[in-house]
Amino acid sequence: RAAIGSSRLSVTPHAPLLPVWTVEAALCAVGSGKMPVATLLPFTATPNRKSAGPTSFRLTEKFILLLVFSAFITLCFGAIFFLPDSSKLLSGVFFHSPAVETNTRTGPDSGDSGSAGNDERVLAKIRKDHEKALLEAKDTLQKRPEELNQEIMNDKAKVAKDSMDQDGKDANNLPVVQYQRPPGATGHEPLDPETRDRRTKIKEMMKHAWDSYRRYAWGSNELRPVSKQGHSSNLFGDIKGATIVDALDTLYIMEMFEEFDAATDWVDKNLDFKVNAEVSVFEVNIRFVGGLLSAYYLSGKEVFRRKAVELGEKLLPAFKTPTGIPWALLNLKSGIGRNWPWASGGSSILAEYGTLHLEFMHLSKLSGNPEFAQKVMNIRKVLNRLDKPQGLYPNYLNPNSGQWGQHHVSVGGLGDSFYEYLLKAWLMSDKSDEEGKKMYYDALQAIETNLMRKSSSGLTYIAEWKGGLLEHKMGHLTCFAGGMIALGADGAPSDKTGHQMELAAEIARTCHESYSRTALKLGPEAFRFDGGVEAIATRQNEKYFILRPEVIETYMYMWRFTHDPKYREWGWEAVQALEQHCKVEGGYSGIRDVYASTPNHDDVQQSFYLAETLKYLYLLFSDDDHLPFDHWVFNTEAHPLPVIKKDRTDPDRPNEVE
């Protein structure tokens, strides 16, 4: 560079050299008398700058100047961004790392011995850093994948915490949560070879179902496996991807992480709730909200928490009724709700408004918004003010008047998961929700007294109650009750625990009979105990099988609590029947008549087949420490949610998500 105001050239060590051709051209110009010496080097200034006129630089000289300056800038940027050690260069230049400072301080006056001493110190530091890095690498290699993942998640949480705003919210206006995965999110191979092989087979079934959906119906809600195209129910309005969201946790617990990552990417980029369409609040809650919550708790990925809270907020207008009992159907854009036109006098349905509690309690925890929990707790207040006929909960409740509709009681369709969520709300609260516990055991006693019966051959079943009269019919959906009763038996009064386990085992046997008495060894939608028949469907519209999970669910719970090998055998019978009769080239299909000798496929692969049926089968052949019941509670779509652990040191302190 030239020192401005000096008549000579002052060159610094970093000054760029002019190209040779430029200097030669300039010298030629001087020799010919065409160019003054003062302008030989453009950065050399004259003693009196005011005497320099507008013709000091000619056009060609300005062009040369521009070229030189451009080359210099290019050289600088190249050094910064493209040299292999540019990061170290930058740290030395801008942040004065010790090594760089050592080198710059050793100038020509420091002497050879001082320079050698500094070099030794630098080498010693390099050796020390190298040894430290080797120790850290060795320590890392010895850690289990779970520990490494946890460290990564903790680092992410720290970064998120550092970047939060003054209100403790992140970029999505959600509170920063210190994520900690509960135990048992993934399991290990069973030691028994036969069990291990069967578990592997079920994972292969999941892969066939998933790969077929991905190939033929990616982004649609469900798959038509025979016609190999997408399928969508009006339950979800214009929301897409039900199978993707429903299958997320199954993919994760089966350690199908490549498929899980593809599903996660779709959720992040394509799952959209900004739709002008009417949806089923119940179905969207258990499948989408439940699936997203579970995926978050298993993986720790923030996209799932964000999407779950976003959808939960979209569902809140459903509660805008005089009583706070939510509508069954809701337009997500307008917030206008209504009930099913066929429901008794415009009533809301027990199994729908009563199956929001688990998800909404977690939404409050993850969003910091207490409104979700308040909405579902208010439902209990309304129910507790009402008289229950013979201690039973009718399936219909008018959201305007707050009175019961038609006195129809069922532990199957229209009622089932209400009772399930009373028990699981208590368990999920770390057994601190005493109100939920009392409501469950009182209801179970009323069900046993008024609805449970035995057939002439000794099969226990749960009938339906209509205005005081029993209909001796039991639905496939009702078969979940065996697992529910087994799950709650330990919390019953000590003199009733054994009795409830016996009831659970009897219901499991009855439901197994409903399978074994069909031609295809798959159970009908409903079966009857009248007219001399037992555990057999007598009506054509009750003979179908749509890949339902409830019987498998009960087998899984009974295995966990008893380890009676018959439950695994019964589950394996179902696997063989599914493979033989439901598997097609394009996935798995339901069957129109399980009593026919050859299957007539309905051409629908339900999303709950991946969410529930295959997950419960997989867990049936897994060890008990895979999603252990003392840490996880399953929602009614088999999405595992963590127990909200109570702070034992401070009973008044709110529970924390484990």
Tens of pLDDT, residues 275-315: 999 999 999 999 999 999 999 999 999 999 999 999 999 99
CA gap 196, 630 in Å, rounded: 24
For the question of residue 550 being annotated catalytic, the response is yes
Using CB atoms within 10 Å of the CB of residue 149, give its burial: 0 to 12 exposed, 13 to 18 middle, 19+ buried: middle
CA gap 611, 245 in Å, rounded: 9
Angle at 33 between CA 27 and CA 34, to 5 degrees: 80
Least confident of 107-111, 204-208, 645-649: 107-111
* Catalytic residue (choose from 246, 416, 420, 534): 416
C-alpha closest to that of 305 among 174, 204, 462: 174
**189: Cβ–Cβ under 8 A, 6 or more apart, which residues?**
196, 199
Least confident of 125-134, 386-395, 450-459: 125-134
- Give the number of other CB atoms < 10 A from CB of residue 413: 17
Dihedral (CA of 341, 347, 350, 352) sign: positive
- Quick one: tokens of 312? 């939960």
For the question of residue 359 being annotated catalytic, the response is no
Tell me: pLDDT of 16 over 60: no
Least confident of 102-116, 126-140, 549-563: 102-116
End-to-end Cα spacing for the chain: 65
Q: Phi and psi (nearest 5°) for 226? A: -80, -50
CA gap 314, 308 in Å, rounded: 10
The confidence score (pLDDT) of residue 107 equals 39
Pick out the residues of the known binding site: 636
The confidence score (pLDDT) of residue 133 equals 72
* Catalytic residue (choose from 246, 525, 534, 603): 525
Tell me: pLDDT of 17 over 60: no
Tell me: pLDDT of 134 over 60: yes
Q: What single letter denotes the amino acid at residue 242?
A: A
Rounded mean pLDDT, 369-395: 98
The confidence score (pLDDT) of residue 467 equals 86
CA gap 98, 124 in Å, rounded: 13
The confidence score (pLDDT) of residue 118 equals 65
- From residue 296, alpha-carbon distances to 6, 40, 366 in Å are 69, 70, 10
Beta partners for residue 462, in sequence order? 452
- Quick one: tokens of 565? 């090998």
CA gap 94, 474 in Å, rounded: 77
- Residue bearing the bigger pLDDT, 412 or 11: 412
Domain ranges of the chain: 193-642
The confidence score (pLDDT) of residue 655 equals 53
CA gap 482, 258 in Å, rounded: 35
The confidence score (pLDDT) of residue 415 equals 98
Rounded mean pLDDT, 373-400: 98
The confidence score (pLDDT) of residue 44 equals 40
Q: Phi and psi (nearest 5°) for 370? A: -70, -10
Would you give the DSSP letter of residue 591? Answer: B
pTM score, two decimals? Answer: 0.76
The confidence score (pLDDT) of residue 144 equals 64
For the question of residue 525 being annotated catalytic, the response is yes
Rounded mean pLDDT, 572-582: 98
CA gap 415, 396 in Å, rounded: 9
C-alpha closest to that of 184 among 263, 249, 262: 249
3-state secondary structure 48-106: CHHHCCCCCCCHHHHHHHHHHHHHHHHHHHHHHHHCCCHHHHHHHHHHCCHHHHHHHHC
3-state secondary structure of 405: coil
Cβ–Cβ < 8 Å for 611, 206: no
The confidence score (pLDDT) of residue 46 equals 37
* Catalytic residue (choose from 249, 283, 506, 513): 283
CA gap 314, 202 in Å, rounded: 36
User: Exposure pattern of 340-358 as b/e (b: 16+ CB <10 Å)?
Assistant: eeebbebbbbbbbbbbbbb
- Give the number of other CB atoms < 10 A from CB of residue 169: 13
pLDDT digits (tens, 9 = 90+) for 491-516: 999 999 999 999 999 999 999 999 99
Tell me: pLDDT of 91 over 80: no
* Catalytic residue (choose from 222, 352, 359, 550): 550
pLDDT digits (tens, 9 = 90+) for 587-628: 999 999 999 999 999 999 999 999 999 999 999 999 999 999
Share of the chain above pLDDT 90, in %: 71
The confidence score (pLDDT) of residue 400 equals 97
- Quick one: tokens of 479? 């078969």
The confidence score (pLDDT) of residue 105 equals 38
The architecture (CATH level 2) of 193-642 comes to Alpha/alpha barrel (1.50)
Share of the chain above pLDDT 70, in %: 78
For the question of residue 416 being annotated catalytic, the response is yes
Least confident of 148-152, 175-179, 266-270: 148-152
**330: Cβ–Cβ under 8 A, 6 or more apart, which residues?**
278, 279, 281, 315, 317, 318, 336, 337
- Quick one: tokens of 49? 């700058």
- Residue bearing the bigger pLDDT, 116 or 490: 490
pLDDT digits (tens, 9 = 90+) for 39-66: 434 444 333 433 344 445 567 777 787 8
Tell me: pLDDT of 152 over 90: no
- Quick one: tokens of 343? 């429901």
Rounded mean pLDDT, 314-318: 98
CA gap 448, 281 in Å, rounded: 30
Least confident of 130-139, 208-217, 428-437, 438-447: 130-139
Average pLDDT of the chain to the nearest whole number: 85
Tell me: pLDDT of 642 over 90: yes
Least confident of 209-218, 444-453, 649-658: 649-658
Beta partners for residue 460, in sequence order? 454
- Quick one: tokens of 651? 């009973």
